[in-house]
Amino acid sequence: MNPRIRTDVLLLVAFCGFLFFYGLGSFGLIGADEPRYAQVAREMLQRHDWITPTLHGAPWLEKPVLYYWQAMLVTRVWRAFLPADAVPDPLSGSADQTARLPSAIDAALMIALVYLFLRRFRPGTQIDGALITASCAATIGFARAAATDMPLAAMFAIAMLGWYAWYESKRRMYSAVFYLFLALATLAKGPVALVLAAAILLIFAAVNREWPILLRTLWTPGIVLFLAVTLPWYITVQVNNPQFFRVFILEHNLARFSQDLYHHRQPFWFFVPVLLLATMPWTLWLVLAIVDSAKSCFRSLQSGQEPRFAVFLLIWLAVPVVFFSASQSKLPGYILPSIPAGALLVTWYLAAKRGVGTRMPWPLATIHAILCGGLVFAALMSANIVVNRHLSRSAGVYIAGGIAAVVALGLAVALRSANGFRFVRFATLIPVVLGVAAILKLATPSLDAKLSARPIAQTIRSFAKEDVPVAMNGATREQEFGLEFYLNRKVARYESGQVPPGNHVLVARQGTLAELHPFLAGRKVSYLTNIPAQNVELYWIGAATGPSPTPPPH
């Protein structure tokens, strides 16, 4: 192997291994989606069912199947290395790791394909492009999440790179890559992948006045490959679950786009600040790259490859942002497919500046250094923010501020050197690594204690070794879904009149026991403990001696 390639590979393996894989189980699953997706994959594996996603035995058809397949395969491989008599413990952290591994693997695959694409079509920029893509805040965050966002973004990015590789080389093997990974993106999150790809290619053809390129893209073997990958699951799940089309297509695609069904309404401009934060610490260079590539577009594109590539990246970046800005439901992960395009725009811009050989202006060096210092400061104070929900004044704030200032000052001085544009990638990776290390070291205990249901499940396990029923009252939906994953069973809700008749553990929001007296008449109630970080109290509720009472109105 070429020594340069060997060095690049080792650097990417070490960097991606740390950013994407290290400490995946250091804190429990958080939010409502992570434990739900993980539980669905677990149930499919337990039933040996590769078709119908279920949640607590009922079909759960909100998302396609790619993430679940990946999680199932990862779990099976993981268990293959365990002793034959070992019983996996969902509270040990291994369940969190296996739930998040699919996203980490997909992110690493995306970085590898970015490197290979640039090495073939933009030699000299491959290591910069791969590392810049890997070090964007959104890439790191979603690579460590048990969710469908990274599978979609990774497969979609590889598809788009495959299409552009075919566009430049006219080699059909790249067109096959496009259709294969577009099919996988469709299995990751549905027809939105087709809509985004079609919009990007249509706009690119219009800007370049190359309408025939659209017809040449419609390659019959590629279409057959796409259908062969996607249709078997979509047809089979529809046959097995006649409600699939209504639930998935009509409700979770069309209705979610046109209506605020799940209370995710945000202003139209919501994704602009999200994009700027998602591409940290490369935000400054992204803004400058957008301006430069837009100028190339408005100059009607000269015949050179670089402006054409930059405009393709600009369109790829803009389409998901504009498309989802029109949606009535907005979540930050929706525009993750834009992030690889933004990172490659930054790579294109910095490569052009290095080629000119100009010295980095001090305003640019200063702003970028401040952004990197701010990243380090936020990482050092992440535990403080998680616990207090805001930045509380303390000695730690001044210490973190001093460290961030030193990082920013050193970076600014380095970037003002004669090789500032050549040095910017290496210099920026230092605060990225420091920031991720600080979060893993300082914030993960607070994240686990405050935002994950794992500590609640561990506390229940300490009082009741057997699988006793668990009920909740006033707890959050995140706590509910998290407990159901860690306990691997349905949790009853007092508010819905679901009061277990036998002995059970009650997880109640602090201060709500008094309002539960109608539920608990004639039953022995024993206080177990409280978990202040989660704002809940645990009680042991004895079996009912008579008929269950009617719950009070809420």
CA angle 28-31-35, nearest 5°?
A: 60
Q: What is the pLDDT of residue 362?
A: 87
Return the sign of the alpha-carbon dihedral for residues 382, 386, 390, 395.
Answer: negative
pLDDT digits (tens, 9 = 90+) for 129-184: 999 999 999 999 999 999 999 999 999 999 999 999 999 999 999 999 999 999 99
Phi-psi region of 22 (alpha: psi -120 to 50; beta: other; left: phi over 0): beta
Q: Report how far residue 380's alpha carbon sits from residue 397's, in angstroms, rounded to the nearest whole number.
A: 9
Instruction: At 303, list the tokens.
Output: 């015949």
- Residue 517: helix, strand or coil by DSSP? helix
Direct distance between the N- and C-terminal alpha carbons of the chain, in angstroms, rounded to an integer = 68
Q: Which H, E and C letters describe 165-191, residue by residue?
A: HHHHHCCHHHHHHHHHHHHHHHHHHCC
- Split at pLDDT 50, 70, 90, the class of 549 is very low
30 CB-near residues (< 8 Å, 6+ apart): 447, 451, 452, 478, 482
What value does the mean pLDDT take over residues 502-515? 89
Is there a contact between 349 and 288 (Cβ–Cβ < 8 Å)? yes
pLDDT tens-digit map of 480-499: 999 999 999 899 998 888 88
User: Which residues, including other chains, have CB under 8 Å from residue 68's CB and lie 6 or more apart?
Assistant: 37, 40, 41, 44, 53
* pLDDT band, very low/low/confident/very high, at 210 (cuts 50, 70, 90): confident
d(CA 127, CA 119): 8
- Contact assessment for residue 491 and residue 480, using Cβ atoms and an 8 Å cutoff: yes
Residue indicated by tokens 């050549």: 422
Helix (H) or strand (E) holding 487: helix 477-487
- pLDDT above 90 as % of the chain: 61
Token duo for residue 493: 């809700």
Cβ pair 336, 138 in contact under 8 A: yes
Question: Nearest Cα to 141, choosing from 317, 19, 18, 274?
Answer: 19
> Which band of pLDDT confidence, cut at 50, 70 and 90, is reported for residue 550?
very low
Report, as an integer, the average pLDDT of 339-352: 94
Instruction: Supply the pTM of this predicted model.
Output: 0.92
Q: Are residues 151 and 192 in contact, defined by beta-carbon separation less than 8 angstroms? A: no
Residue 255: per-residue pLDDT: 67
Q: Which amino acid is at 308?
A: R
Judge whether 213 and 168 are in contact, CB under 8 Å. no
Residue 503 DSSP symbol = S
Mind listing the pLDDT tens digit for each residue in 418-468?
677 888 888 899 999 999 999 999 889 988 999 999 999 999 988 877 788
HSE (side-chain half, CA atoms, 13 Å) at 441 = 10
90 pLDDT above the threshold of 80: no
Which residue in this structure is represented by tokens 């259908």? 227
Considering the chain, what percentage of its residues have pLDDT values greater than 70? 92
User: If you count them, how many residues does the chain have?
Assistant: 554
Task: Please give the full DSSP string across 234-280, using - where no structure is assigned.
Answer: HHHHHHH-TTHIIIIIIIIIIIHHHS-TTS----GGGHHHHHHHHTT
Token output for 340? 């690889």
Structure tokens at 494: 């007092």
CB proximity list for 532: less than 8 A, separation 6 or greater: 510
Please give the pLDDT value at position 193: 95
How confident is residue 51, by pLDDT bands cut at 50, 70 and 90? Answer: very high
Strands 54-55, 536-541: pairing is unpaired
**For 522, how many CA atoms within 13 A lie in the half-sphere containing its CB?**
9
- Average pLDDT of the segment spanning 70-97: 80
Distance CA 370, CA 365 (A): 9
Could you check whether the bond before residue 307 is cis, i.e. omega within 30 degrees of 0?
A: no
SS3 544: coil
